[in-house]
Structure formats: C-alpha cells, structure tokens
Chain A
Amino acid sequence: AQTVTQSQPEMSVQEAETVTLSCTYDTSENNYYLFWYKQPPSRQMILVIRQEAYKQQNATENRFSVNFQKAAKSFSLKISDSQLGDTAMYFCAFSIYNQGGKLIFGQGTELSVKP
C-alpha cells in the first residue's frame, strides 16, 4: 500500500525561528513526485513546494526548503524565519508518475507560529 505518515499532529514555533515538519512515505515505485501543501484557516489548499524523486537536489522556495532522503523515504519541510502567516495545516503528499496523477496525502501537521 502507498501511504504517507506525518508523525507530528501539532507543532509550534516562535516568530522568526526555524521549524522542520516531518514526513515519511511508502511506495515501491521509483518515479514519483512529492509535495507540501499549506491549508490556512481560509481552507484554501496552497502548494508550498514540489520535488521530483529523480532529482537529488533538494527543492527550495524562498523560506521553504525540503530535505529529501529517497532511500529513507523521508521528505521533511523546513520553514526558515517563520512568520505569523505561516500558521496553517501542512500536508505532505506524493503522486506516482502515470498512475492517474492521484495525490496521496498524509494526515497533516497543524503549525502555530507564535509572536
């Protein structure tokens, strides 16, 4: 079975500090894509960052970066210089290439950024 596990249901961080959200996944496939999505209280799902499994270089988007460890099937998200607007639910997800593009989501981590 293909699964995604986020072992931290809730986390908090002080404004301007760095926080890392954990994610592990399980698949026997070799070609897949990994994503982090943010869901603020508005409920809108927002793509934070995307990583192709065939790329060894970790993806970065401004203050957001990932630590992708393919052998360990680990895909953590690091948020640097945390801002109040980063307060949200964060979902890790992956999709297998050429399997209908279905996204498989983790349970989510609720992040609170405190002033």
Chain B
Amino acid sequence: NAGVTQTPKFRVLKTGQSMTLLCAQDMNHEYMYWYRQDPGMGLRLIHYSVGEGTTAKGEVPDGYNVSRLKKQNFLLGLESAAPSQTSVYFCASRKDSTYGYTFGSGTRLTVV
C-alpha cells in the first residue's frame, strides 16, 4: 500500500516555464489537497477537491490550477512559474472530514 505518491520529488524551473505536479493515492480517499510550505508560514492550502471532478480554491490559489479527472489523482499545474512559487509542495488525502490526512513526501520546487 503506497499511500500518497508525489512526482517529481525535486524540480528546478526557469521563470515563465510551466509544469505539472502529480499526486496519486491508492486508498480510495474522497478528499485531496495541495499545500505549499514556506519557512515561518506553516502549510498553506492552494487548492483542494472533495471528490472526482470537483475542485475548489484554498488560501493561496493564484498562479496555480488543478484537476481531478480520476478519483486517485490530483494534478497541480503552474502555467507560468515565478520565483515566488519556489516552495515545498505537499499533497494530502483524506477519507472524509473526520480523519487525519495522509501526506505525500513533498516536492521541492525552485524557480530561478
């Protein structure tokens, strides 16, 4: 049972480039989330999904898009990367709102 898998684990982008981060979970969880972690700011919610085909904005959605075409996958896209998007990105999933999250191992993204 792999849990939550994020790919890639590390990436360096040039300003203006685009990329997609993939999150996959094999626990049949309904809820999935994308967070970013920056020093001194904890984890901040970017976008989330409460089920296949649904997405919603979190606290810091600007510059990001997401899709949940399949229940097990939640994709985070950066259309035109900016240095301010340099961060560690975490995906998480949850069975329902009463359970704790299962986190992926994170993606360290650097935009130069």
Contact = CB atoms under 8 A, between A and B. Distances in A.
Do A and B interact with each other, yes or no?
yes
Interface of A: 4, 9, 33, 35, 42-45, 47, 50, 52, 91, 93, 95-108
The interface centre, meaning the residue of A42, A44, A102, A105 with most chain B CB atoms within 10 A of its CB, is A102
A107 B41 contact: yes
A105 B43 contact: yes
Given A43-B105, A106-B42, A108-B42, 19 more contacts: A33-B98, A43-B106, A44-B106, A45-B90, A45-B92, A45-B103, A47-B100, A47-B101, A52-B98, A97-B97, A97-B98, A100-B50, A102-B33, A103-B33, A103-B43, A103-B92, A105-B44, A107-B40, A108-B40
Given A100-B48, A102-B48, A91 B97 contact: no
Given A100-B48, A101-B94, A103-B101, A43 B43 contact: no
Interface of B: 31, 33, 35, 40-45, 48, 50, 56, 58, 88, 90, 92, 94, 96-98, 100-101, 103, 105-106
Contacts of B45: 102-104
11 contacts: A33-B98, A45-B90, A98-B97, A100-B31, A100-B50, A102-B48, A103-B43, A103-B92, A107-B41, A107-B42, A108-B42
Contacts of A102: 33, 45, 48, 58
A35 B100 contact: yes
B53 to A, nearest CB: 15
A44 B94 contact: no
B43 A44 contact: no
Given A35-B100, A102-B33, A103-B101, A43 B88 contact: yes
B96 A101 contact: yes
Nearest to A98: B97
